[in-house]
């Protein structure tokens, strides 16, 4: 009995500590978030003040440097207000100055106040976001000032900037890695590379971004060589491509990256007495979803989406396990009109995309000459 009382006391202590720890961490997170929002609002106001005075020649050259030095002299220990940082505040304001027109303060101003140049040149008016439909206010205020500057410097289009603001909010990339993510990975433009409906059908932004990033619009199946098979293009059917993929399944998986497990080819499902055969079935650990690949030898047809949709419905009903997300489907075909595919795909509620493929015999002959052979690549990998 005493032992039970002792154990119960220990468990109560553990439970209480966990509750208190959660509350402390949540409070700290809210405090950091509030500090960040206050900082962004201040930097916007400072940026506005500097922009108005410098762009209209109200200040002479070298004024920003002089202000920075004087601030540090009068406020010892002040950080974040160097010359380059003040210029970044101006950049931040000028990139998002359109937000000011919807600010409660700006809306409440009279025409006289707006035209008062003395007031305009001498007022630090911080940003107050409100009444902004369809604008990601939470994401905008959640990321650091340095993240904002990197986005502004690297992404020039407004929609692209909003995309990366959401991306930073969800994925928390470092400020050092962000320019490379925008320039090299080019996730924003890549999202439209493969026609897909992931953003419309996958509620979780993180999951949608992962899926967008994972699949490309075209794949080189360089282990499939129609000429070596002694076949003409018109004689090739989906089973030939499928069997080549199955025989080279490691290479196929490596084109997508880590996290894929091969579940099988021509996977059979019986639904209400009707047979369904899925060409290639995978499971992705990162997406926590089954992934279907349907292979088509010719140009995209609208019927392919209906077929894929039925497979996804069956998998979702009969083979989706607890903790898994709904399955994704990808059609691999020889050719597709992206704009047309995206238009047709709008009415489908399951997440799916359409990609194209090329085989080794379709690669540029001159390029093939300079590429290492399969044996050379294997030796390099072994070394």
**What would the DSSP string read from start to end of 180-249?**
HIIIII-HHHHTTTS-B-HHHH---HHHHHHHHHH--SEEEETT--TTTTT--GGG--HHHHHHHHHHTH
**Shared-domain flag, residues 99 and 240:** no
Range of the structural domain that residue 333 is part of: 216-382
Answer yes or no: do 27 and 168 share one domain: yes
Same domain, 225 and 97: no
Query: Strands 218-221 and 289-295: what pairing?
Result: unpaired
Residue 317 lies in a domain: yes
Confirm whether 26 is domain-assigned. Answer: yes
Residue 9 resides in a domain = no
User: Do 309 and 347 fall into the same domain?
Assistant: yes
Same domain, 250 and 112: no
C-alpha–C-alpha distance, residues 284 and 290, integer Å? 6
Residue where a domain stops, chosen among 156, 172, 190: 190
What's the pLDDT tens digit per position in 282-336?
898 888 999 998 988 889 999 999 999 999 999 999 999 999 999 999 998 888 9
Inside any domain, residue 102: yes
What CATH number did the domain enclosing 359 receive?
3.40.1350.10
The reply to whether 165 falls in a domain is: yes
Can you say whether residue 297 is alpha, beta or left, with left for phi > 0 and alpha for psi between -120 and 50 degrees? alpha
pLDDT in tens, 37-72: 888 988 998 899 899 888 887 788 888 899 888 888
Are residue 49 and residue 87 in the same domain, yes or no? yes
The Cα–Cα gap between 268 and 287 comes to 23
Q: Is the domain of 178 the same as that of 117?
A: yes
**Residue 260: pLDDT over 50:** yes
Same domain, 182 and 292: no
Considering the domain architecture, whether residues 365 and 235 belong to the same structural domain is answered as: yes
Within-domain flag for 208: no
Q: Are residues 73 and 149 in the same domain?
A: yes
> Phi first, then psi: what are they for 85, rounded to 5°?
-70, -35
In a domain, 161, yes or no: yes
Percent of the chain with pLDDT over 70: 70
CB of 178 within 8 A of CB of 203? no
Statement to judge: residues 236 and 275 lie in one domain: yes
Q: What are the φ/ψ torsions at residue 56 (nearest 5 degrees)?
A: -100, 15
Does any domain span residue 294? yes
pTM (predicted TM-score): 0.52
| pLDDT of residue 77 exceeding 50 | yes
Number of domains in the chain: 2
> 226 and 176 in one domain?
no
Q: Which has the minimum average pLDDT: 183-192, 198-207, 249-258, 296-305? A: 249-258
pLDDT of 137: 87
């Amino acid at each position: 009995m005493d032992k039970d009382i002792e154990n119960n006391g220990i468990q109560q202590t553990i439970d209480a500590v966990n509750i208190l720890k959660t509350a402390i961490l949540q409070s700290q997170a809210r405090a950091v978030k509030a500090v960040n929002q206050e900082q962004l609002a201040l930097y916007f106001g400072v940026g506005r003040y500097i922009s108005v005075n410098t762009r209209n020649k109200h200040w002479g050259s070298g004024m920003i440097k002089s202000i920075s030095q004087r601030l540090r002299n009068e406020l010892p220990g002040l950080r974040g207000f160097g010359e380059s940082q003040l210029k970044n505040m101006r950049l931040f304001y000028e990139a998002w100055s359109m937000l000011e027109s919807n600010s409660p303060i700006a809306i409440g101003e009279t025409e006289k106040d707006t035209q008062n140049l003395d007031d305009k040149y001498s007022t630090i008016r911080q940003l107050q976001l409100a009444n902004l439909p369809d604008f990601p206010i939470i994401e905008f205020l959640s990321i650091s000032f340095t993240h904002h500057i990197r986005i502004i410097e690297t992404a020039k289009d407004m929609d692209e900037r909003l995309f990366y603001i959401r991306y930073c909010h969800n994925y928390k990339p470092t400020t050092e890695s962000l320019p490379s993510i925008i320039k090299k990975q080019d996730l924003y433009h890549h999202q439209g590379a493969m026609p897909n409906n992931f953003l419309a059908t996958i509620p979780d932004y993180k999951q949608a971004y992962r899926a967008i990033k994972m699949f490309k619009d075209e794949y080189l199946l360089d282990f499939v060589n129609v000429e070596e098979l002694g076949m003409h293009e018109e004689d090739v059917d989906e089973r030939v491509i499928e069997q080549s993929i199955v025989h080279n399944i490691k290479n196929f998986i490596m084109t997508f990256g880590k996290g894929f497990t091969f579940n099988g080819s021509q996977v059979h499902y019986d639904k209400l007495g009707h047979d369904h055969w899925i060409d290639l079935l995978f499971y992705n650990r990162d997406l926590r979803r089954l992934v279907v690949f349907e292979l088509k030898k010719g140009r995209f047809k609208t019927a392919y989406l209906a077929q894929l949709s039925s497979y996804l419905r069956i998998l979702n009903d009969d083979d989706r396990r607890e903790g898994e997300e709904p399955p994704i489907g990808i059609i691999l075909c020889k050719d597709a009109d992206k704009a047309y595919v995206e238009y047709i795909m709008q009415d489908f509620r399951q997440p799916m995309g359409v990609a194209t493929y090329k085989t080794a015999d379709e690669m540029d002959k001159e390029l093939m000459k300079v590429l290492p052979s399969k044996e050379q690549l294997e030796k390099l990998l072994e070394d």
